[in-house]
Amino acid sequence: MRNEIILIGPMGVGKSTVSKRLSEKLNKSHITIDEIRFKYYDEIGYDHETADRLFKEKGFFNGLYRYWKPFELYAIKKILNEYSDCIFDFGAGHSVYEEDKMFQEAQETLKDFKNVILLLPSANSEESIEILSKIYKPEAENNVEMIDFIRHTIEHHSNNNLANYVIYGGKRKSVDDLADEIISLISCRA
């Protein structure tokens, strides 16, 4: 089994922030998949013009997000194969797959990783959605669509089925608290 830590979860939950803190505390590098993904997307023919058109015509969730799915799966397979002994944080969509075949491929890709950790603000889905929705200002053009996306990534089965552990941020936990909780959890189960 591989010991790298993989953080998954909805947008805005703090995956990148917590992974950076884990990186500091464990003296390991961290890989933010959102920062390097397009290199991998491009390897299999990602078309930026098609992506822009789909976003303009159908919006983020019904256009761009759905176009990204095969590219996201390819990227996580490649990145997890190319990097080791580090902390990974997945973009919100990199761990949610609507198509059964893609979900099964994601499961197969992650099966050898014993520290796949789902970060959520609360054990209550509605409370999690409410907390994360506050990130988006009501006047923002895509506010409703982003809230729908947050809801989707929280309610969809993928994250829960891919994770080995779930950590709840809660209102009173700091980034250090979350990092320490993760370190304690994986140390106890090593």
What is the pLDDT, as a whole number, of residue 136? Answer: 64
Taking 50 as the pLDDT cut, the residues of the chain under it are none
Q: Which CATH architecture has domain 2-188?
A: 3-Layer(aba) Sandwich (3.40)
Could you tell me which of 160, 163, 135, 139 has the C-alpha nearest to residue 150?
Answer: 135
Helices (H) and strands (E) in the chain, counts: 9, 5
What is the pLDDT, as a whole number, of residue 137? Answer: 58
What is the pLDDT, as a whole number, of residue 154? Answer: 95
Q: What angle do CA 44, 49, 54 make, to 5 degrees?
A: 100
Per-residue burial over 69-79, b if 16 or more Cβ lie within 10 Å, else e, is bbbbbbbbbbb
Give 50-77 pLDDT, tens digit per residue: 999 999 999 988 999 999 999 999 999 9
What Rg do the C-alpha atoms of the chain give, in angstroms?
A: 16
What is the pLDDT, as a whole number, of residue 113? Answer: 97
Q: What angle do CA 22, 74, 20 make, to 5 degrees?
A: 10
**Per-domain residue ranges of the chain:** 2-188
Does the model's pTM come out above 0.85? Answer: yes
What is the pLDDT, as a whole number, of residue 147? Answer: 86
Tell whether the torsion through CA atoms of 84, 69, 101 and 107 is positive or negative.
positive
Task: Give the single-character DSSP code of 61.
Answer: I
